[in-house]
Amino acid sequence: MDDEADIAVVGAGAAGLMAAIWAGRTLGASGRVIALDGAKKIGAKILVAGGGRCNVTHHTVDEGQYAGSTPHAIRKVLRRFDVPDTVAFFKALGVELKREKTGKIFPVTDDANTVLSALLGAAADAGVELRHPWRVDRVAREGEVFVVRGEGGGAAIRAGRVIIAAGGKALPRSGSDGAGYAMVRELGHSVTPRVFPALVPLVLGKGHWITGLSGISAEVTLELRGGTGKRIKAFTNSMLCTHFGISGPAAMDMSRYLAGARFEDPAAGLVVNWLPGESGDSVDAMLVGLGRTTPSKWLRERGLPERLSEAICAAAGANPAAPGHGLPRDLRRALARCVTQMPLPVVGDRGFTYAEVTAGGVPLSEVDLDTMESRVCRGLHLCGEILDVDGRIGGFNFQWAWASGHLAGRGAADGQKIAR
């Protein structure tokens, strides 16, 4: 026999749990909220986040840290449940948060389990029935209700309202494999023409010298340039050399902008400045005065690791061990260029398997931003990564999940109360 609920939540990741908690709290004891998740293990992404410490949010969150649907729409949602709200929400659940020097906010326990346990406890306290593994195959509107059907048949759940929080396609083994897009399309929504990995490591051409420096990192400025050389975007942060190419915050933050630019302009590419703040001219002027100091030593003195310093010199064709006063003018200039604007031949990225988030999704123009209710299918609410919003590394993506999940949960419960 079919089961009945006031609200069914599809997906119990960060956004879905938040939505279920607020739906349960808002409906009160007389309401019934059922949250369904296809994964055997709930909250896999919360547990792996921030290297197992869960970077819950960031001290300074604004729409400028996100891409996707319009900044104005993103701001509207973020303002309705801001960082102090997130901190207060977790504090009330007994989770103390701390801010680190970078502005990132973590639980004081440095343990993501603290965050997941608190969310699961809050969901139970709000009366949410959590069912998993319960993979949703289809959500259909049948008259006044929604019918949620699971993979392989069996009993369906009839619900007055449905919140779809099935995430995107990043880290598919966690349970988020893009199935949500087919569900929302069937209910009348569109999905952006491009859905692609974001916050993903980048792959360099085979045999590039950087792939021989795996494990070495440096603070750099990574710049995205169009085919004409026009500067499109830049990030100054740590970049990690890996056996396949580049990773670390600078490369991850840049990945969605590079992929996005290349859809329109295949000649767009990355340029790295190994000494942020310096220009070709300023480095050239400093190299002129090197005297007996080798260029490699000079780079080390500026904070670059030894092997990286040597490799940069070699890439410019300069002998890293030869005294600087012997550098011919052309070589000196070539080295200054290599140090400050070295092109990185990125051939692709590591795909959804290694991506932290998904770029693209349901446009925010298709939801009411006060309640996250669909404008094309009444009674349906959407939140989290399934929407066309992706943030930088640093806690911004969870903040989006908390904010949009909170609005969806409250919005669905308020709507359902009126309908009852």
Ligand X SMILES: Cc1cc2nc3c(=O)[nH]c(=O)nc-3n(C[C@H](O)[C@H](O)[C@H](O)COP(=O)(O)OP(=O)(O)OC[C@H]3O[C@@H](n4cnc5c(N)ncnc54)[C@H](O)[C@@H]3O)c2cc1C
Cα–Cα distance, 145 to 5 (Å, whole number): 10
Size of the residue set binding ligand X (CB under 6 A):
37
Spell out, one character per residue from 198 to 237, where the chain touches ligand X: x when CB under 6 A holds, - when not. ----------------------------------------
Q: Is 36 in the site for ligand X (CB under 6 A)?
A: yes
Both tokens of residue 337? 């260029």
175 is an interface residue for ligand X by CB under 6 A = yes
Residue among 369, 405, 367, 402 nearest 188 (CA) = 367
Residues 6+ apart with CB under 8 A from 9: 16, 19, 20, 23, 33, 34, 35, 36, 128, 162, 163, 165, 409
- State yes or no: residue 136 binds ligand X (CB under 6 A): yes
Applying CB under 6 A, among 31, 248, 360, 395 the residue interacting with ligand X is 395
**Cβ closest to ligand X, residue 126 vs residue 327:** 126
Give strand ranges (E) for 93-244: 97-99, 104-107, 129-131, 136-142, 145-150, 157-164, 196-198, 202-204, 217-225, 231-241
Q: Smallest gap, in angstroms, from Cβ of residue 112 to ligand X?
A: 8
Residues 42-101 that bind ligand X (CB under 6 A): 45, 48-50, 54-55
Interaction of residue 31 with ligand X, rule CB under 6 A: no
Residue in this structure with the two tokens 């930088």, named with its chain if needed: 392
> How many residues in the chain?
420
Report the distance separating Cα 239 and Cα 221, nearest Å. Answer: 9
Using CB under 6 A as the criterion, what x/- string covers residues 349-378 for binding ligand X?
Answer: -------xx---------------------
Instruction: Please tell me whether residue 11 binds ligand X under the rule CB under 6 A.
Output: yes
Binding flag, residue 171, ligand X (CB under 6 A): yes
Which is nearer to ligand X, 10 or 327 (by Cβ)?
A: 10
- Concatenated DSSP letters for 277-325? T--HHHHHHHHHT-TTS-HHHHHHHTT--HHHHHHHHHHHT--TTS-GG
Q: What is the DSSP string of 360-377?
A: --B-GGGEETTTTEESSS
Q: Could you tell me which stretch among 164-172, 317-325, 336-344, 359-367 binds ligand X (CB under 6 A)?
A: 164-172
Tell which one of 270, 336, 346, 401 touches ligand X (CB under 6 A): 401
Which of 116, 123, 166, 336 touches ligand X (CB under 6 A)?
166
Of the candidate spans 73-81, 123-131, 160-168, 408-416, the one that interacts with ligand X by CB under 6 A turns out to be: 160-168
Contacts with ligand X by CB under 6 A lie at: 10-16, 36-39, 45, 48-50, 54-55, 135-136, 165-167, 170-171, 175-176, 179-180, 356-357, 384-385, 395-398, 401
